[in-house]
């Protein structure tokens, strides 16, 4: 008879170690006991024994064995998110402890949306680092839903995103940077040389669109309805900045995006923002802060407020 979930939990609490989780994650990523052992500085028998210990604790097989190595079982796939999260938390904690011990100033864990990173952090962080080299910044890209999960798990010190309908309990939102939708294209696009572009000039263009749940997609659909016909679309749908840039370089496409997303590429001359006769406003980018802010986080938050004024 299989053990209950409570029994398995108690076994893991009593006998499982972080080394077990490290072996599990690395073996799932690499698929080879030999290379896993080499990557974490262990012997093959030690890796095999740790895996056997974990399988014994859980009473399940965690890997299928085959001629070329191993492959995770469904049970292993269920366990991997927890293992990765635990190791990531341990790593972040170790870095924070070392940073606090060596400099006394601490660590700021920053999670930001693509727009916040491209439109604000890529310019603000290097300057802050020069002025405050004693504060360590960990910057991670994440949209709202992963950001909120990380906030719930206390993995975030400051979040950068747009205003949300419901704030996490104990957190506040402060607008920082105005934004708007723009139409972008590659420098060699025929419309890129025009001094002024009207929306009706874009009705027959081909568009690289974003997924249906994005604000840019909703706005583009509204514009299509204004002209009485849907916009002609590329067969590629993406919100990934690097993929969008690549598609615009290869084909005569237009895309509707927040100005913040491509600000760096525009500044570098790799993309052009068309001079439209109409501005399309969008929600500003802002800062999420907890009620109890650590000193290092407060210093970075104050810097962002000053930077964006």
pLDDT digits (tens, 9 = 90+) for 129-164: 999 998 989 999 988 888 998 898 888 999 999 998
Beta bridge partners of 112: 141, 160
Per-residue pLDDT at 4 = 61
pTM (global) more than 0.85: no
Per-residue pLDDT at 1 = 41
pLDDT digits (tens, 9 = 90+) for 187-216: 999 999 888 888 877 878 899 999 988 888
Rounded-to-integer distance, Cα 157 and Cα 236, Å? 36
Beta bridge partners of 174: 287
Per-residue pLDDT at 11 = 59
Task: Look at residue 29 and tell me whether its pLDDT is greater than 50.
Answer: yes
pLDDT digits (tens, 9 = 90+) for 60-97: 899 998 888 899 999 889 888 888 888 887 777 776 66
Q: 154 Cβ partners below 8 Å, 6+ apart? A: none
Q: 232 Cβ partners below 8 Å, 6+ apart? A: 204, 205, 206, 207
Mean pLDDT of the chain: 87
Q: Which domains does the chain have, with CATH numbers?
A: 5-87 (1.10.10.10), 89-177+284-308 (3.40.190.10), 179-281 (3.40.190.10)
Rounded-to-integer distance, Cα 172 and Cα 185, Å? 36
Task: Tell me if 205 sits within 8 A of 254, measured CB to CB.
Answer: yes
- The 3-state DSSP class for residue 127 equals helix
In DSSP notation, 22-40 reads: HHHHHHHHH--HHHHHHHH
Rounded-to-integer distance, Cα 78 and Cα 28, Å? 12
**The dihedral sign for the CA sequence 304, 308, 155, 298:** positive
Q: 143 Cβ partners below 8 Å, 6+ apart? A: 113, 114, 161
């Amino acid at each position: 008879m299989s053990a209950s979930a409570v029994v398995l939990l108690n076994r893991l609490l009593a006998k499982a170690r972080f080394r077990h989780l490290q072996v599990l994650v690395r073996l799932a990523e690499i698929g080879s006991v030999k290379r896993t052992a080499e990557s974490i500085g262990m012997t093959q028998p030690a890796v095999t024994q740790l895996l056997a210990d974990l399988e014994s604790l859980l009473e399940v097989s965690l890997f299928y064995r085959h001629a070329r190595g191993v492959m995770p079982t469904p049970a292993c796939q269920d366990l991997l998110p927890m293992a990765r999260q635990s190791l990531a938390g341990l790593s972040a904690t170790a870095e924070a402890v070392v940073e606090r011990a060596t400099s006394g100033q601490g660590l700021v864990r920053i999670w930001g949306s693509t727009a916040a990173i491209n439109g604000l952090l890529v310019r603000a962080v290097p300057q802050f680092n020069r002025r405050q080299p004693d504060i360590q910044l960990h910057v991670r890209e994440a949209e709202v839903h992963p950001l909120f999960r990380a906030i719930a798990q206390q993995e975030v010190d400051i979040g950068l995103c747009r205003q949300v309908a419901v704030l996490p309990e104990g957190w506040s939102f402060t607008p920082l940077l105005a934004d708007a939708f723009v139409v972008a294209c590659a420098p060699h696009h025929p419309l890129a040389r025009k001094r002024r572009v009207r929306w009706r000039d874009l009705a027959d263009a081909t568009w690289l669109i974003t997924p249906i749940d994005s604000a840019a997609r909703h706005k583009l659909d509204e514009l299509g309805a204004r002209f009485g016909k849907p916009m002609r679309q590329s067969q590629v749908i993406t919100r990934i900045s690097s993929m969008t840039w690549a598609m615009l370089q290869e084909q005569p496409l237009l895309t509707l995006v927040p100005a913040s997303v491509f600000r760096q590429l525009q500044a570098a001359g790799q993309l052009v923002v068309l001079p439209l006769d109409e501005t399309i406003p969008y929600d500003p980018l802002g800062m999420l802060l907890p009620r109890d802010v650590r000193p290092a986080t407060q210093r970075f938050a104050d810097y962002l407020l000053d930077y964006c004024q």
